[in-house]
Chain A
Amino acid sequence: MKILVCITSVPDTTAKISFTQDNTQFNKTGVQFIIGPYDDYALARAVELKEQHGGSLTVLNVGTSDSDPQIRKALAIGADDAIRIDTEPTDSYFVAAQIAEIAQKNSYDLILMGRESIDFNSGVVHGLVGEMLGIPSYSPVMKLEITDGKAEFAREIDGGKEFLEADLPLVLGCQEPIAEWKIPNMRGIMTARSKPLNVVPATPMDDLTVLKKYTLPAPKGECKMIAAEDAEQLIALLRTEAKVL
């Protein structure tokens, strides 16, 4: 089985977010980057599936050389080789198109990624890649088994779970508890160095969207405590101060 796992390189969940150049650039200074947490689940399940079924596991990232440490970590965790499409990722359509371009040439049985990145959180790349390749895509997938070339999986839906079965090839956006995050071991870290990391140029295409500016969420206001029996006062404040009623 040929598996492709697409990973994002995103700011650590505890990073302080700020912007420069008149709020048009994300300020990367001092920010620690990690593999997208949802992508990390996809990678962990892919490593397990490869252990069970054999085959190959390729990890892919659309990004600049700044992503290399995250790609090396994925190799240390268990991917056999890596592809980096050497470009600054812009919007979801652009990223999906770049992934589809590679996937078209390599006919993977399974393309896994996180349900969404944790920086822009669009959560649409898996769907777009599926459409572009003309194969099914599902998200968010929280359980996945492969039996006799078929995928059996569970997906979170409003108020419950949906159990599905589909033929391969397939694109899946993953989330916990599909697998437990894997911590690479020392030997994995050392052998990651000798695994191929192929850097390929991006396919040129027009930008469909233009980023105008970023704004931070409003700072948290002061917390007012209202006694449980004062429901009227609470309603009045919600009307007059918070203006949400």
Chain B
Amino acid sequence: MTTETAENQALIEETVRDFAERYIRPNIREWDEAQFFPTEIMHQMGELGLMGILVPVEYGGSGLGYREYVAALIEVSKVDPSIGLSLAAHNSLCTNHILMFGNEDQKQRYLPKLASGQWIGAWGLTEPNTGSDAGNMQTVAVRDGDHWTLNGSKNFITHGKSGNVTVVIARTGEPGDKHGATAFVIEQGTPGFTSGRKEDKLGMRASETAELIFQDCVIPDTQRLGEVGEGFIQSLKILDGGRISIAALSVGTAVGAYEAARDYAKERKQFGQSISRFQGIAFKLADMYTDIQASKMLTFDAADTKDRGEKVSLQSSVAKYHASETAVRVSNEAVQVFGGYGFTKDYPVEKFYRDSKLCTIGEGTSEIQKLVISREILRG
């Protein structure tokens, strides 16, 4: 890494940290309890340039790479993982899909609004009956001349209600066929396109998760992203990058939990000394720190691989798998370090504990990561 890259990264981290401390931290508990999705924060992050980090400057983005994206995402997630999750979904799923596979007209039309945070983006692949088995999705798009009619539903969609624009993958061929799905970009308010129930979740409660419903939703062919039949393959490429986001989200979550536990362990006194002096606690902190360092290195390695334009499936899966499991383990131990106080809402670790569990599930469960990793290492 050059000095210039390191200095830029440090300034980006400081900037995002200042923003998160000033505008996110004071509201964490209120948003969590009310399951309030703060769209205003998303707009503010747009002004900072965080909503189009990877988008080139000519489309109104910040024109930065995955390394800077990861650095920013870690800082947001350290304070509130649910805002980190929304930032990740907006940047690496919706916006990135349009950036990578949209035509010039689509990029001109959507990227400036998404990158500035004026619009919030959503991305829909998962369905009630097809999670990891996305090839068998039941939402269908049928072509009729210059138009497509969509029917079906998608669920667990981040920004399913508030998303001003949604990238949706629908089946246009046979179930299970790799070339049987196509991606479309659909604007909020398109007739036949509505959102359903908002999920009441264990964690990540300030990030909105909802259902998308398509009932004879007719859209022009100009809303198609890329070639017919390429939607599934596009999605796999998007998820390769998306896993780097979830790895970064996981690292941030783990660091947030660890720092809270470390500070508390130094302050809390029992038997006449701070509990950090007891090996039972000190060793926990050492394990947490070590796991986090490893996760961080794997995540930045995946980011650098992606920035070099190389294939990143293996690295991103390894990073996502390791970092997400770390986030769950570290936040669990953080609650333990806090003892009874950790179980209350007066301290931040119970929220990290709840939020962390999404990390081993979203954008491919740990089991799916192991499948990807084993396929990659056993190839040939």
Chain A 177-195 interface residues, beta-carbon cutoff 8 Å to B: 181, 183-187, 189-190, 192-193
**Which of these, B4, B10, B22, B53, contacts A186 with CB under 8 Å?**
B53
**Which of these, B4, B63, B64, contacts A193 with CB under 8 Å?**
B4
Q: Which residues of chain B have C-beta atoms less than 8 A from A72's C-beta?
A: 7, 11
Chain B 42-66 interface residues, beta-carbon cutoff 8 Å to A: 47-50, 53, 57, 62-64
Q: What distance in Å separates the Cβ of A205 from its nearest Cβ neighbour in chain B? A: 32
Q: What distance in Å separates the Cβ of A183 from its nearest Cβ neighbour in chain B? A: 5
- Do B7 and A187 touch (CB < 8 A)? no
Chain A 59-105 interface residues, beta-carbon cutoff 8 Å to B: 68-69, 72-73, 76
B27 within 8 A of A: no
- Do B57 and A187 touch (CB < 8 A)? yes
Assembled-state Cα–Cα distance A72/B15 (Å): 12
Q: What distance in Å separates the Cβ of B288 from its nearest Cβ neighbour in chain A? A: 20
Assembled-state Cα–Cα distance A193/B12 (Å): 13
Assembled-state Cα–Cα distance A72/B6 (Å): 13
Contact A185 to B18, CB < 8 A, known contacts A72-B11, A190-B64, A193-B4:
no
Q: Which residues of chain B have C-beta atoms less than 8 A from A185's C-beta?
A: 15, 47-49, 62
- Do A184 and B15 touch (CB < 8 A)? yes
Q: Which residues of chain A have C-beta atoms less than 8 A from B64's C-beta?
A: 186, 190
- Do B15 and A189 touch (CB < 8 A)? yes
Assembled-state Cα–Cα distance A73/B50 (Å): 17
B8 within 8 A of A: yes
User: For chain B, what secondary structure do more than half of its interface residues adopt (helix, strand, loop), or is it mixed?
Assistant: helix
B31 within 8 A of A: no
B289 within 8 A of A: no
Contact A193 to B15, CB < 8 A, known contacts A186-B48, A187-B49:
no
- Do A190 and B18 touch (CB < 8 A)? no
Q: Which residues of chain B have C-beta atoms less than 8 A from A186's C-beta?
A: 12, 15, 48-50, 53, 62, 64, 68
Q: What distance in Å separates the Cβ of A189 from its nearest Cβ neighbour in chain B? A: 5
Q: Which residues of chain B have C-beta atoms less than 8 A from A187's C-beta?
A: 49, 57, 62-63
- Do A183 and B7 touch (CB < 8 A)? no
Assembled-state Cα–Cα distance A86/B243 (Å): 45
Assembled-state Cα–Cα distance A36/B68 (Å): 26
The residue of chain A having its C-beta at the shortest distance from the C-beta of B8 within the complex is A189
Q: Output the residue of B4, B7, B53, B63 with the most chain A CB within 10 A.
A: B7
**Which of these, B8, B14, B19, B48, contacts A190 with CB under 8 Å?**
B8
- Taking residues whose C-beta sits less than 8 angstroms from the other chain, chain A's interface range is 10 to 19
Assembled-state Cα–Cα distance A47/B4 (Å): 25
Contact A183 to B8, CB < 8 A, known contacts A190-B62, A190-B63, A190-B64:
no
Interface string of A176-218 (1 = CB under 8 A from B): 0000010111110110110000000000000000000000000
Assembled-state Cα–Cα distance A181/B7 (Å): 21
Q: Which residues of chain A have C-beta atoms less than 8 A from B53's C-beta?
A: 186
The residue of chain A having its C-beta at the shortest distance from the C-beta of B47 within the complex is A185
Assembled-state Cα–Cα distance A183/B282 (Å): 36
Interface string of A142-175 (1 = CB under 8 A from B): 0000000000000000000000000000000000
Assembled-state Cα–Cα distance A69/B10 (Å): 9
- Do B15 and A69 touch (CB < 8 A)? no
The residue of chain A having its C-beta at the shortest distance from the C-beta of B4 within the complex is A193
Contact A76 to B11, CB < 8 A, known contacts A185-B48, A186-B49, A186-B50:
yes
Q: What distance in Å separates the Cβ of B26 from its nearest Cβ neighbour in chain A? A: 15
Q: Which residues of chain B have C-beta atoms less than 8 A from A69's C-beta?
A: 7, 10-11
Q: What distance in Å separates the Cβ of B260 from its nearest Cβ neighbour in chain A? A: 16
Assembled-state Cα–Cα distance A187/B62 (Å): 6
Q: Which residues of chain A have C-beta atoms less than 8 A from B49's C-beta?
A: 185-187
Q: Which residues of chain B have C-beta atoms less than 8 A from A76's C-beta?
A: 11, 15
Q: What distance in Å separates the Cβ of A59 from its nearest Cβ neighbour in chain B? A: 15
Q: Which residues of chain A have C-beta atoms less than 8 A from B12's C-beta?
A: 186, 189
Q: Which residues of chain A have C-beta atoms less than 8 A from B63's C-beta?
A: 187, 190
Assembled-state Cα–Cα distance A244/B89 (Å): 61
Q: Which residues of chain B have C-beta atoms less than 8 A from A190's C-beta?
A: 8, 62-64
Q: What distance in Å separates the Cβ of B197 from its nearest Cβ neighbour in chain A? A: 35
Q: Which residues of chain A have C-beta atoms less than 8 A from B47's C-beta?
A: 185
The residue of chain B having its C-beta at the shortest distance from the C-beta of A73 within the complex is B11
Assembled-state Cα–Cα distance A189/B8 (Å): 7
The residue of chain B having its C-beta at the shortest distance from the C-beta of A184 within the complex is B15
Assembled-state Cα–Cα distance A189/B4 (Å): 11
The residue of chain A having its C-beta at the shortest distance from the C-beta of B14 within the complex is A73
The residue of chain A having its C-beta at the shortest distance from the C-beta of B64 within the complex is A186
Q: Which residues of chain B have C-beta atoms less than 8 A from A183's C-beta?
A: 15, 18-19, 22, 48
Q: What distance in Å separates the Cβ of B76 from its nearest Cβ neighbour in chain A? A: 13
Assembled-state Cα–Cα distance A193/B7 (Å): 10
Q: Which residues of chain B have C-beta atoms less than 8 A from A193's C-beta?
A: 4, 8
**Which of these, B11, B18, B19, contacts A189 with CB under 8 Å?**
B11
Q: Output the residue of A68, A76, A185, A192 with the most chain B CB within 10 A.
A: A185
Chain A to chain B: the 5 pairs with minimum beta-carbon distance, closest first: A186-B49, A186-B62, A185-B49, A185-B48, A183-B18
A-B contact pairs, 22 of them (CB 8 A): A68-B7, A69-B7, A69-B10, A69-B11, A72-B11, A76-B11, A183-B15, A183-B48, A184-B15, A185-B15, A185-B48, A186-B12, A186-B50, A186-B64, A187-B49, A187-B57, A187-B62, A187-B63, A189-B8, A189-B11, A189-B15, A190-B63
Q: A186-B49, A186-B53 are in contact. List 15 more A-B contacts (CB 8 A).
A: A68-B7, A76-B15, A181-B18, A183-B15, A183-B18, A183-B19, A183-B22, A185-B48, A186-B50, A187-B49, A187-B63, A189-B11, A189-B15, A190-B8, A193-B8
